[in-house]
Amino acid sequence: MIILDGASLTLDELKRIARDYEEVKIKDENIIKINKARDIVKTIANGDDAVYGVNTGFGHLANVKIDKKELSELQANLLMSHACGVGEPLPKETVRAMMALRINALIQGYSGIREKTILKLLEYLNTDLIPIVYEKGSLGASGDLALLSHMSLPLIGLGELEYKGIRYEAKEALKLAGIEPLEGLKAKEGLSLINGTQAMSAVGGLVLYDSYRLLDYANLSLSLSMEALEGIMDAYDDRVHQIRRQTGQIQVASDVRRFLEGSMRVTKQNEIRVQDAYSLRCAPQVHGASLDAFEHVKMTLEREINAVTDNPIIFNEINEAISAGNFHGEPLAMTFDYLGIALSELANISERRTERMVNPHLSGGLPPFLTKDSGVNSGFMIAQYTAASLVSENKVLAHPASVDSIPSSANQEDHVSMGSISTRKAKTILENVRKVIAIEIFTACQAIDLRGNKKMGMMTSKIYEQVRKYIPFIKKDEPLYVHIQKIEKLLMDDSFYNAIF
């Protein structure tokens, strides 16, 4: 069980909620904070002073005062009017993460939402009643309004839910689950549910989690390529990397040395050649820079998933509501643009290693395109094409979304972050990089077999043996996509990862 307290949620715990269906509970102390903030909102709602989102309209309509009798209707209307998402539904795991993140923000007691409403969202999460949320429609300020509206509509019996793997209208799913929706929303509750960065945090958080694992595979595919190309280990000497003082680089070089421990396939300076091409020799510097980027993203993300992103913010200690801009997604927008760039570089350098293995002018004696009967057979020629295509696509996707902004809400919201686009781009880049790494692993195993029978490294032998359980040596041309897709799926399989690492 994971206990949310609004301050200590980690990336690993978010993954366990999203993918492992771990039960979630709210820390008892947070209930007191929730109720204190609610009392302040009730006082505001019963008073005459205009406070944004409590007794006013939204966005450009902030100057429109709302009658006390219409405050509940105002909040329900907000969810309905703002649920304008388009595109494909987000994966269930992403929506589960969204729900947990919004709960974690609301329980800090700066929102003014009712305890009852938070507990209803928690009940849906623990019962695995998961809203259908469409992927596109957020500008990343004021938060992820459209996407969080789709997440929140089922709380009042509207929208759509997935229950036991089947998609239903919310009322039907709730009836099947034996759960009652809220009778309605009270002052500020609709705004509290949707004013935040939890959609982009959910998408981006799971991408980041997967990025760390993919980097392990990138370091392992690099190590396989070192063996396939008889790479020079001197460039991985710890003394070289310590004096550069870049922590990611030091870690990657250490990992590769460990992966290749005991290998008879790698070489020393002047044994075959003086030095290697950059895609082998500079890989710790490149992979290490990506690791450092991941660490920066993780630091920013873990602050954000424990942040208050509401507007207005209710301060119990001064009995006051302050309207500000914590919902603005710029910290995440820039950060996940950076993650996309860092991921792209892993594919860029991986594709160059694949090219060296298939190119007879660069491979150091391997047959053209890694086939013994080249000419009648094209071998791995087009596997490298595919990797090059994915790398080129990533170059387009790596253009930052955060440098763009389109004014909205009659220019009241005149600068937005586009953070949800940053995170979705990072997800697509991640998926492309995984394919490129799969191609490198596939290619390196073929090249290693063609080099002859020599002892492999401590970890490279493990992945080689695991791959060869599913993927044969390619003796003559056959459809390669089947094998590439199989390796890609293996890279997403926990049991495959655990068998190696």
- Confidence at 490, pLDDT banded by 50, 70, 90: very high
pLDDT of residue 63: 79
How many domains does the structure of the chain reveal?
2
> Which CATH number covers residue 251?
1.20.200.10
How many of the other CB atoms lie within 10 Å of CB of 222?
29
pLDDT of residue 61: 77
pLDDT of residue 103: 98
pLDDT of residue 110: 95
102-125 residues labelled b (16+ CB within 10 A) or e (exposed): bbbbbbbbbbbbbbebbebbbebb
Quick check: is 55 in a domain? yes
Question: Mind listing the pLDDT tens digit for each residue in 400-410?
Answer: 999 999 988 88
Quick check: is 25 in a domain? yes
Question: In percent, how much of the chain has pLDDT > 90?
Answer: 88
pLDDT at 60 over 80: no
Q: Give me the torsion for CA of 451, 453, 455, 459, rounded to 10°.
A: 70
Q: Are both 20 and 92 inside the same structural domain?
A: yes
What whole-number distance in Å separates Cα of residue 251 and Cα of residue 270? Answer: 26
The answer for residues whose C-beta is within 8 angstroms of residue 467's C-beta and 6 or more apart is 441, 442, 445, 487, 490
pLDDT of residue 414: 87
For residue 52, indicate whether it is catalytic. yes
Reference 121, options 214, 196, 231, 44; nearest CA is 196
Q: Are both 383 and 483 inside the same structural domain?
A: yes
194-203 average pLDDT score: 96
38-47 residues labelled b (16+ CB within 10 A) or e (exposed): bebbbebbee
Q: Is 56 helix (H, G, I), strand (E, B) or coil?
A: strand
Amino acid identity, position 460: T
Provide the token pair at 414: 């005149």
pLDDT of residue 413: 84
Quick check: is 134 in a domain? yes
Question: Mind listing the pLDDT tens digit for each residue in 414-441?
Answer: 899 999 999 999 999 999 999 999 999 9
- Confidence at 309, pLDDT banded by 50, 70, 90: very high
HEC letters along 395-421: HHHCCCCCCCCCCECCCCECCCCCHHH
Q: Which residue among the candidates 21, 52, 110, 124 is catalytic per the annotation?
A: 52
Q: Are both 355 and 296 inside the same structural domain?
A: yes
The answer for residues whose C-beta is within 8 angstroms of residue 274's C-beta and 6 or more apart is none
Q: Are both 187 and 237 inside the same structural domain?
A: no
Q: Are both 217 and 348 inside the same structural domain?
A: yes
Task: Indicate the average pLDDT of the chain.
Answer: 95
Quick check: is 161 in a domain? yes
pLDDT of residue 500: 94
Quick check: is 318 in a domain? no
Range of the domain at 231: 203-311+324-500
> Which CATH number covers residue 52?
1.10.275.10
Provide the token pair at 319: 């009995």
Q: Among 153, 170, 196, identify where a domain stops.
A: 196
What whole-number distance in Å separates Cα of residue 247 and Cα of residue 245? Answer: 6
Q: Are both 444 and 334 inside the same structural domain?
A: yes
254-293 residues labelled b (16+ CB within 10 A) or e (exposed): ebbbebbeebebbbeeeeeeeebeebbeebbbbbbbbbbb
What whole-number distance in Å separates Cα of residue 113 and Cα of residue 223? Answer: 53
Q: Are both 235 and 191 inside the same structural domain?
A: no
pLDDT of residue 55: 83
Q: Is 143 helix (H, G, I), strand (E, B) or coil?
A: coil
pLDDT of residue 44: 85
DSSP string, 266-311: -B-TTTS-S---HHHHTHHHHHHHHHHHHHHHHHHHHHHTTS---S
The answer for residues whose C-beta is within 8 angstroms of residue 233's C-beta and 6 or more apart is 226, 257, 260, 266, 267, 268
- Confidence at 67, pLDDT banded by 50, 70, 90: confident
Q: Among 196, 216, 235, identify where a domain stops.
A: 196
Q: Are both 160 and 255 inside the same structural domain?
A: no
Across 70-79, 177-186, 190-199, 219-228, least confident range? 70-79
Q: Are both 214 and 359 inside the same structural domain?
A: yes
Q: Among 164, 196, 228, identify where a domain stops.
A: 196
What whole-number distance in Å separates Cα of residue 355 and Cα of residue 364? Answer: 12
Percentages helix, strand, coil for the chain (3-state, rounded to 5) are 60, 5, 35
Question: Mind listing the pLDDT tens digit for each residue in 6-57?
Answer: 999 999 999 999 999 999 999 999 999 999 999 999 988 888 888 887 888 7
The kind and range of the H/E element at 173 are helix 170-177
- Confidence at 213, pLDDT banded by 50, 70, 90: very high
pLDDT of residue 52: 85
Question: Mind listing the pLDDT tens digit for each residue in 280-296?
Answer: 999 999 999 999 999 99
Quick check: is 403 in a domain? yes
How many of the other CB atoms lie within 10 Å of CB of 7?
12
Question: Mind listing the pLDDT tens digit for each residue in 326-385?
Answer: 999 999 999 999 999 999 999 999 999 999 999 999 999 999 999 988 899 999 999 999
Quick check: is 147 in a domain? yes
pLDDT of residue 486: 98
Q: Are both 229 and 188 inside the same structural domain?
A: no
Quick check: is 317 in a domain? no
Higher pLDDT, 177 or 373: 177
What whole-number distance in Å separates Cα of residue 436 and Cα of residue 22? Answer: 32
Q: Are both 369 and 489 inside the same structural domain?
A: yes
Q: Are both 174 and 214 inside the same structural domain?
A: no
